Amino acid sequence: MHVTSKIRRRLGPAVACALLAACSAGAPGTMTPNAPQRDASGARTENTTIFISGSNPSAVYVLNSKGDIVSTLTDDLNVPQGLAVDRSGDLYVANLGAPNILVFAPPYTGTPTVISDEAGASPLDVAVDASGNLAVANLSTASGNGDVVLYAAGATSPTSIISSPNFQQPRYCAFDKHGNLFLDNIQTSEAPRSHLGVAGPGDRSENVTIGEIRGGLHGTSITQLQTSNQIDNGEAGSVQVTSSGKIAIDNYVTPGGTGGNIYTYGAPKHNDLGAPAMLHLRRSIQPTTFAFTVGSKRLFTADYSLDAAQAYTYPGGRLLKTFHFPSRQLVQGVAIYPNQQFP
C-alpha cells in the first residue's frame, strides 16, 4: 500500500491532508457561478450550483447543474474542509489550516469575511440555520478534545463554546428546520480484552456516535443520541438532515476499504434515533462528505480518494454522474445551492 494511502486510512482525510506537504494555500482567484433562477410562476428551476472544496492546492470549485466547473476560488484558503450555504447564497468554508471560517458573498468575487476560530483549533465543518446562525465543528483544540463553537447571525465573536467528554472528536454538523444542531463524532476508548482486565496493544477502539445540541444557538450541552446499531471502527463523515427531518450520516470507510454507507435514521424520539436504513454508495472509495438537493431526491458526495464528486439518487442509490477534478486534488467538502434546507 502506498504511504499516502496508509496515512489516509489510519488518520482519516482531514488529518492526513494536514500532514501532506502538498496541502497549502493557493493563489488569489475569483468565481462567478450562476445564481438559481425562477420561472414566471416563481418556482425554482434546475439551475443548481455545486461547491466542492479541495486541498491540493487549496481551492473551492464551483460547478453548474451540468457538472461543468464554472470557476475556482482560492482567496485566503488554507486546507478548506466542510462547506455550507445560507439562505442568501453566502458560502461558508471551514479553513482547517488557518484556523478560521471564510464567508464569500455572491457573486463570490470580493474579499471574504474572516471569522476567527479558537487558537490552535482544527475547524472541520460548518453549518448555518434558517436565521443565519453559524456552527463550527472543531475536530480538536489546543487543549486536546474538540468542541462546537456557535455564532449569532452576522457575528464574528462566538456566542458559546460547547464541549463534552463524550464527544472527543466532533466531525461534521447540520441544523434541522427547528434550529437544533446535530453532529457526529469519533469516540475513542480502551477496551481491555485480557482476563487481567488490562488494556494492551490492539485494545483501543473507535466508535461513531451522534449528538444533538437542542436549541442550536441557545443550547448549552451535547446530548448523545442512542441508535439500534453501533458503527465500530468506522469513520464519521457528513451528517445531514433530510427535507422531512430524518438524520443521515456518512460512514466513509467500509470493510474492504471501498465505498461508503449512508445511514438514515428517523428524527430523535426520547434521545433515540432507532434503526437506520443503509445505502451503500457503489463505485466510490472514500466519500467523505455529502449534501442533499432540494427535496432530498439526490445527494452529491465529495470522494477524497477518488478525487471526484458523484451524484446519486436518494434513497435509491443509483449513480447518476461523476464530476472529475485535477489529479490528486483531494476533494474534501461539498455544498449545494439551493438545497433541502433552503429550497
Which pLDDT belongs to residue 253? Answer: 84
**Residue 220, in any domain of the structure:** yes
Pairing of strands 287-292, 308-313: unpaired
pLDDT of residue 150: 98
Contact status, residue 52 vs residue 302, Cβ threshold 8 Å: yes
Beta bridge partners of 290: 301
342 lies in a domain? Answer: no
Would you state the pLDDT for residue 249?
95
Whether residue 104 is contained in a domain is answered as: yes
Q: How far apart are the first and last CA of the chain?
A: 44
pLDDT at residue 202, as a whole number:
55
Quote the pLDDT of residue 14. 58
pLDDT in tens, 162-221: 999 999 999 999 999 999 999 999 987 765 544 455 545 555 567 899 999 999 999 999
| pLDDT score for 191 | 58
Q: Residue ranges of the chain with pLDDT lower than 50?
A: 1-11, 18-45, 193-195, 199
Whether 343 maps to a domain, the answer reads no
- The pLDDT score that the predictor gives to residue 207 is 86
CA dist 78 to 63, 123, 143, 325, Å?
20, 11, 22, 18
Considering the domain boundaries, does residue 66 fall inside one? yes
Per the structure, the complete domain to which residue 132 belongs is given by 3-337
Q: What is the pLDDT of residues 137-158, one digit of tens each?
A: 999 999 999 999 999 999 999 9
pLDDT for the residue 13: 64
**Cβ neighbour number for residue 328 with a 10 Å cutoff:** 11
For residue 27, the domain's CATH number is 2.120.10.30
Residue 27 φ/ψ, nearest 5 degrees: -85, 160
What is the b/e burial string over 124-137, where b = at least 16 CB atoms within 10 angstroms of the residue's CB? bbbbbbbebbbbbb
pTM to 2 decimals? 0.86
Number of domains the chain is built from: 1
Provide the pLDDT for residue 29.
36
